[in-house]
Amino acid sequence: MRKLFGSLQAKYMLLIITALAIVQFAYLLSAMLMSGIQNQFETNDSAAVYYDEVEHSWHNDITRLTEINSKAMNQMFEKWSTTYPESSMFWVDEQGNLASSWQVSWDIPSYWTSSYTVSFMKERYGSDPFTIVALVGDQDASGFAVLEIPRSVFNPPIMKIYDQYGQWLIIGVVLIIMLFIVISYLFFRSIRKRLLHLQMAMNNRNSDGLPIPITISRTDEIGHLENAFNHMVTELNESKLREQEEERIRQELIANLSHDLRTPLTKIQSNAYSLTQLSLPVESEQAVHSLQRSVEQIDTLIENLMSYTLLMSHKYRLEMKDVMMIRFLREHLATWYATFERADFEIDVSLDGMPEFVWKADPIWLGRVMDNLFQNVLRHASSGSYIGLKVEFKHGYEVIIIVDHGGGMNSPSNESGAGIGLSIVDMMINGMNLSWDMQSNEQGLTVEICKPHR
Amino acid sequence: MSGMIILTRTYKKGYVMTHILYIEDEREIGSLVSQQLVDRGYEVTWLQSGEGAESYVDLVDLVILDVMLPGLDGFSIGKRLKRASDSLPILMLSARTAMEDKIEGLSFADDYITKPFHFDELVARIEVLLRRFQKQEQLLLIQHLHINTKDISITNTITNEEIQLTGKQFLLFQCFIRHLNQILSKNQLYEQVWSETYIEGDKTLMVHIRYLREKIEVDPSNPTIIETIRGIGYRVKQ
């Protein structure tokens, strides 16, 4: 039973049934009430009257009068007055004189002419009060007697009840409707309140950005919804944990793979270094240097391949923050300066005097982009022996410009590859909501990295 | 202690060698790198696992640590060593190149080099760490200057006189010596010496560099010790 009434649907049905029962009860009550009142009316009004019966009865009583005088007439009027207290009566004799009257409220003439009589009858026909004119006696020579009864006396009892108790009935009906509205409002307000609470609880997030389980308030439909939500939260948490575990395994695999590939390279590098410490013939020395360069190339390729895989699967960690670009470029180029110096590059830096500007970017990604671009200059544009780095503000954009004097993109290079380095640059620049452009000709390559000026 | 190899070279009496603890499980790499370090004048203790590494904390000047080791990994060993001695420089030398590994390594270690590495780079970084942690009294000769890296005392070998520096000049020169051969940007120098953010166009640093040059350079108008790297900053090269 408790389970049955734990349901919102059951509660709502109970509410409707109760409302219907109240209406039915009200009908029954009013019917009983009216029946009682009607009985009372009927008891009080034992002469349930109808127009024909009254007319017939009046004619009978008047024509059957044996003794025709004022006294007898007044006795008859009194008798009728007992039955119909609201009635009035009068008698006009054969000469047209008003012989007797009973409870007449209007200004009745003392002498009735034929024309006045006709006019009176014409006026009273079908009007209120209900008027019966009967000839007195069986000889029709004793004048006429008139009975006047207000038509309201002939109204049915229900109309009388309505007239007397109508306002209480209306008040009762309004009260029942109001009661139903109030109970319905309270019922739906309680549902709404719980739904809003549920909505707020669903919007709460933990540190991982996942929803937090909510306390189940009751065992009704909303309680089932809360339960289902909690179940979903549990599944989400499990899914998140599974994802984190898969991510950990994947990273571990990449790290192990990287380790396993680099370990033999380290052995080759270390052995090659040991060889360079010996006095080798020139050809052997060149071969060792070539070996060392190849190791460095493979190392870069492995690194690029790992990064490319991570970027393609959107797993390369990106942390956007404010980066002061002039400072960043200075410090980053400083780490490459010695390398360019060793390669006899002219290093042309035009950053002095430029106002500092801030980009929203990941400094590690930016560093990786610059590393790839500088590495490309070293590898593919060494013939130009020139690298330029400057910053410009043009067409509403802040632009970092890297210039080399190599042979451009179409010039042959001993170390050309599949372009994975530039693909990484492209993905990282786009990933940081920046744009870039390359202009290549025989004089060299110009790379521009842009961001709209804030 | 299993897997422990100590490599030294005989030096003249009174010479204190820098002692490096090298933890590397890969035999060939461990052997080659240890030997190359010994050839460069370091005393090397090579362990093939982190077992017992903590007992060397007070005996060594620097630790070179691989990450993937049998038993406890390099990160755990490094954290334990750093807890045992905060003043012991740790250099991670690993084939793990993922950014997460580098970040975890640098959370306690003082440097992180990825394999394959160039041996000269490894030695350069060892020297930087030793200077930074003042683990050795080292006399540097930069052109006509004799510099004791421990107390940054400078002697002009031409006049045989000690050069006296003011507070800011001393801090500037110390900064250059700690980052020998590295280019330091104006921002880095200003922030290290003045502990304030550098504002582009501020001439304070330039003025102090000029005063410092007047004291240490033979020809301050044509400086050769403190190089100006146009557009980037300054460098002192050995």
Name chain B contacts of A273, Cβ cutoff 8 Å. Answer: 32, 36, 118-119
Q: Are A343 and B226 in contact (CB under 8 A)?
A: no
Work out the angle at residue B109's Cα, subtended by the Cα atoms of residues B104 and B114, and round it to the nearest 5 degrees: 70
pLDDT at position B79, please? 95
% of residues, chain B, pLDDT over 90? 55
The answer to whether the beta carbons of residues B69 and B50 sit under 8 Å apart is: yes
Phi first, then psi: what are they for A323, rounded to 5°? -120, 125
Residues B144 and B209 in one domain: yes
Contact across the interface for A364 and B99, Cβ inside 8 Å: yes
B78, B107: one domain: yes
The CATH number of the domain holding residue B112 is 3.40.50.2300
User: Which of A34-48, B45-59, B141-155 is predicted with the least confidence, judged by mean pLDDT?
Assistant: A34-48
Q: Are B94 and B114 in contact (CB under 8 A)?
A: yes
Q: Which has the higher per-residue pLDDT, A42 or A146?
A: A146
Number of Cβ within 10 Å of residue A129's Cβ equals: 17
Contacts of A171-180 with C-beta under 8 Å, sequence gap 24+, read A172/A26, A172/A30, A173/A26, A176/A22, A176/A23, A176/A26, A179/A22, A180/A19, A180/A22
| B202 and B231 share one domain | yes
Q: Which tens digits make up the pLDDT trace of A157-188?
A: 666 667 777 788 788 878 888 888 888 888 88
* Claim to verify: residue B62 and residue B105 sit in the same structural domain: yes
Angstrom distance (rounded) from CA A394 to CA A400: 11
Same domain, B97 and B126: yes
Confidence of residue A363 (pLDDT cuts 50, 70, 90): very high
Please say which residue of B83, B103, B132 terminates a domain: B132
Q: Are residues B85 and B164 in the same domain?
A: no
Assess whether pLDDT exceeds 70 at residue A39: no
The pLDDT of residue A47 is above 50? no
Interface membership of B33 toward A (CB under 8 Å): yes
The verdict on whether omega for the bond into residue A157 sits within 30 degrees of 0, i.e. cis, is no
* CB-closest option in A265, A327, A352 to B116: A265
Beta-strand ranges (E) seen in A115-210 are: 130-135, 144-149
Domain that holds residue B56: 4-132
Q: What is the structure's pLDDT at A76?
A: 87
User: What pLDDT is recorded for position A446?
Assistant: 93
The SS3 of residue A444 is strand
pLDDT > 80? residue A2: no
Question: How many angstroms away from the CA of A387 is the closest CA of chain B?
Answer: 13
For residues B153 and B46, membership in a common domain is answered with no
The pLDDT score that the predictor gives to residue A67 is: 81
Q: Are residues B118 and B221 in the same domain?
A: no
Residue A202, pLDDT score: 81
Tell me which of 3.40.50.280, 3.30.565.10, 3.30.540.10, 3.60.20.30 is the CATH number of domain A317-452: 3.30.565.10
- Across the interface, whether the CB atoms of B201 and A353 are under 8 A apart is answered yes
Question: For the purposes of burial, counting CB atoms within 10 Å of the CB of A326, is it exposed (0-12), middle (13-18) or buried (19 or more)?
Answer: buried
Q: Classify residue A210 by burial, with Cβ atoms within 10 Å: 0-12, 13-18, 19+.
A: middle
Of A384, A370, A386, nearest in space to A428 by CA: A370
The interface pTM score, or ipTM, of the predicted complex is: 0.75
Average the pLDDT over each of A88-92, A346-350, A353-357 and give the range with the smallest value: A353-357
Contact indicator for A438, A426 with CB cutoff of 8 Å: no
Q: What is the 3-state secondary structure (H, E, C) of B18-83?
A: EEEEEECCCHHHHHHHHHHHHHCCEEEEEECCCCCHHHHCCCCCEEEECCCCCCCCHHHHHHHHHH
Segment B122-136 mean pLDDT: 85
Ordered strands of the B226-229 beta sheet: B183-185, B233-236, B226-229
| Residue B112 in this model has a pLDDT that exceeds 80 | yes
User: What is the per-residue DSSP string for B89-110?
Assistant: -EEEEES---HHHHHHHHTT-S
pLDDT value, residue B45: 94
Mutate to test the interface with A, among B22, B97, B203 (most CBs of A within 10 A): B97
Report the Cα–Cα distance between both ends of chain B, in Å, rounded.
Answer: 40
Which DSSP state fits A101? E
pLDDT band at B134 (very low <50, low <70, confident <90, very high): confident
CB A151 within 8 A of CB A130: yes
Grouping H, G, I as helix, E, B as strand and the rest as coil, residue B161 is strand
What element of type H or E holds A339?
A: helix A325-342
Element (H, E) at A78: helix A70-83
* Count of CB atoms situated within 10 Å of the CB of B134: 13
Q: How far is CA B123 from CA A189, B37, B120, B127, in A?
A: 76, 8, 5, 6
Closest alpha carbon within chain B to A350: B231
Residue in chain B closest to A273 (alpha carbons) equals B119
Lowest mean pLDDT, pick from A175-184, A356-365, B22-31: A175-184
Cβ atoms of residues B195 and B178 within 8 Å: no
H or E stretch covering A352: none
Pair B146, B49 in one domain: no
DSSP code, position A349: E
User: Which residue, among B40, B64, B183, B202, would best test binding to A if mutated, counting the most A CBs under 10 Å from its CB?
Assistant: B183
Reported CATH class of domain A222-308? mainly alpha
CATH of the domain at B163: 1.10.10.10
Which long-range contacts does A161-166 make (Cβ < 8 Å, 24+ apart)?
A: A161/A34, A161/A37, A161/A38, A161/A41, A164/A37, A165/A33, A165/A37
DSSP 8-state secondary structure symbol assigned to residue A210: P
Tokens of residue A155, six digits: 């109204």
Determine, for residues A331 and B101 on separate chains, whether the beta-carbon distance falls below 8 Å: no
Among the partner-chain residues A271, A292, A326, the one whose CB lies closest to the CB of B32 is A271
Report CB contact under 8 Å: A270, B118: no
Q: Which two tokens stand for residue B190?
A: 């200003």
Judged against a pLDDT cut of 90, whether residue A362 lies above it is answered with yes
Domain end residue (candidates: B132, B149, B171): B132
What percent of chain A has a predicted confidence (pLDDT) above 90? 23
Report the gap between the CA of B221 and the closest CA in chain A (Å).
21
| Residue A265 contacts residue A298 (beta carbons within 8 Å) | yes
Quote the pLDDT of residue B12. 47
Tell me the whole-structure pTM to 2 decimals.
0.59
Which structure tokens are listed for A206?
């933990």
pLDDT for the residue numbered A333: 92
pLDDT of residue B43: 92
pLDDT band at A417 (very low <50, low <70, confident <90, very high): low
Please give the interface size between A and B, counted as residue pairs whose CB atoms are below 8 Å apart.
113
Range 68-127 of B in CB contact (< 8 A) with A: 68, 94-101, 114-119
Mutation to test the B interface, candidates A263, A302, A309, most B Cβ within 10 Å: A263
- Looking at the fold, whether B121 and B174 belong to one and the same domain comes out as no
- b/e string for A420-445 if b means 16 or more Cβ within 10 A? ebbbbbebbbebbebebeeeeeeebb
The reply to whether B232 touches chain A by the CB within 8 Å rule is: yes
Q: Please indicate, yes or no, whether residues B32 and B10 belong to a single structural domain of this protein.
A: yes
Which of B232, B234, B238 has the highest number of chain A CBs within 10 A, making it the mutation to test binding with A? B232
Among the three residues B84, B107, B132, which one is the final residue of a domain in this structure?
B132
- Determine whether the interchain pair B101/A333 forms a contact, defined as Cβ–Cβ distance below 8 Å: no
Partner-chain contact B29 A267, CB within 8 Å: yes
- Look at residue A86 and tell me whether its pLDDT is greater than 90: no
| pLDDT top residue among A101 and A158 | A101
pLDDT tens sequence across B79-96: 999 999 999 999 999 988
- A269: nearest CB among B94, B96, B116: B116
User: B119 and B165 in one domain?
Assistant: no
Q: Which residue in B32, B19, B115, B36 sits closest to B74, CA to CA?
A: B115
Cβ neighbours of B116 in A, within 8 Å = 262, 265-266, 268-270, 295-296, 299
- Over residues A188-245, the pLDDT tens digits come to 888 888 888 888 888 888 887 888 888 887 888 888 888 888 899 899 999 989 988 8
Query: Buried b / exposed e across B45-80, counting CB within 10 Å, b at 16+?
Result: bbbbbbbebeebbeebbbbbbbbbbeeebbbebbbe
pLDDT at B46 over 90: yes
Fill in the amino acid letter for A13: M
Find the mean pLDDT for residues A357-366. 92
Q: Which residues of A touch B33 (CB under 8 A)?
A: 270
Sequential DSSP letters for A252-294: HHHHHHHHHHHHHHHHHHHHHHHHHTS---HHHHHHHHHHHHH
Location of structure tokens 């440097």:
B111
* Chain A residues within 8 A of B112 when measuring between CB atoms: none
Mean pLDDT of the residues in chain B: 88
- For chain A, give the mean pLDDT: 84
Q: Based on the structure, what is the number of domains in chain B?
A: 2
pLDDT at residue B122, as a whole number: 94
- Binned at pLDDT 50, 70 and 90, residue A428 comes out as very high
Which residue from A222, A169, A155, A224 is spatially nearest to A193, judged by alpha carbons?
A222
Beta-carbon separation of A274 and B36 below 8 A: yes
pLDDT category of residue B2 using cuts at 50, 70 and 90: very low
From residue A447, how far is each of A66, A399, B94, B231 by CA, in Å?
140, 10, 33, 19
Confidence of residue A441 (pLDDT cuts 50, 70, 90): confident
Token couple for A259: 């380790």
d(CA A281, CA B40): 23
